[in-house]
Amino acid sequence: MKIVDVRAMTCDVPVPRPIIMGDLRYNTRDYVVVEITTDEGLSGFGWGMARYAPVAEVIERNLKPLLIGEDPLLNEHLWDRLYYLNLLIAQRGIYMRALSVVDIALWDLKGKAAGLPVWKLLGGHRRRMPVLMAGGYVAADRDVRALRDEVANYAKRGFRLIKIAAGELATDTERLRVAREAAGDAKLMYDAHWGWRDPQAALRVVRGWADLDLAWIEDPFPSEHLAQLARFRQRSTIPLAIGEDITGRWAFQRILDDDLADTLRVDVTNCGGFTEALKICALAAARGVPVSPHVYPEIHVHLAAALPIVAHVEMTDPPQGIEAMHRLMASTLEIRDGMADAPDRPGLGFEPDRAALKEFRR
């Protein structure tokens, strides 16, 4: 079997209200979708967020020429080939997003060729796993009462893991107290979205959260600010979850070696695909550090079903309009009582809706 074509496109999908994450603001969600086809008629899909960067163009220019004519089932060979022959641009960012979605498509294709779901190829650990519901995003028309109702709704629907997004640090104590009450006995997390800069200023607020029983604070500082992260960690008693924007096993190894995280946040669509995520999860497992995947439940259900170190799947609630990938999919992961079942269909088990891709293609 040989690869005969690689096609990448970017889709812009409108969201019902602006998405605000600290200083970041999004009016659409943009996704890169790649399809890899073979001379035997099989094809594999991969997808991820483009973040308004030319990810599709990198796939076409830097990756496609290295894939044509290759055996798509040689995942490790192809990962090394794509990484090291683009080493000067391969460390972070746009290139790793491109490599990740290509790798996802190759695993989808491999599963279809084998007649097995990806999670069984990756390892095979469990069929059913908990879902972390990420919500509580700030918006001009949403006050603390709306936050209370949203979190209470998640708890009522059976979600035992609930995460709320940061607003302004000065006002988030009130928001967290409201969310804590509404969540009942569910675990509560807080996502700072890399918005903090001053550890001392953050600590003055966070020390007032000791009674909230937060499962973690996520990404408080930009990933490059390791010194600030270390100072904060030394003086805070709340666990930290770090890593959804980090790429490659080497960066994760430093986080683990410096003991900067209680939970690793891993995004297969960004870190280097399934091939690299397996290595990152192995590093975490060797140290007993749990892994929490970043959204994309149709992709990350395979990582959580494959490996015992992966604690759960994460998603956002479609009616909240935080993510929009479901609008590009022919089917999505089914959630019941806060739990997800691993798919039995070959490959990823989910296909894009070609009509939707055409509608939203940039």
Residues known to be catalytic: 294
Q: Measured between alpha carbons, how far is residue 154 from residues 34, 133, 151 in Å? A: 33, 7, 5
How many C-beta atoms lie closer than 10 Å to residue 162's C-beta? 26
CB 9 within 8 A of CB 303: no
CB 44 within 8 A of CB 112: yes
Residue keyed to tokens 């990582």: 303
**277 — phi, psi (to 5°)?**
-60, -35
CB 157 within 8 A of CB 186: no
CA-to-CA distance for 264 and 267, rounded, in angstroms? 10
The conformation of residue 59, written as its DSSP 8-state character, comes to I
- Burial of 275-293, coded b for 16+ CB within 10 Å and e otherwise, reads bbbbbbbebbeeeebbbbb
As beta bridge partners, residue 49 has: 31
Nearest to 174 by CA among 144, 149, 203: 144
CA-to-CA distance for 25 and 2, rounded, in angstroms? 42
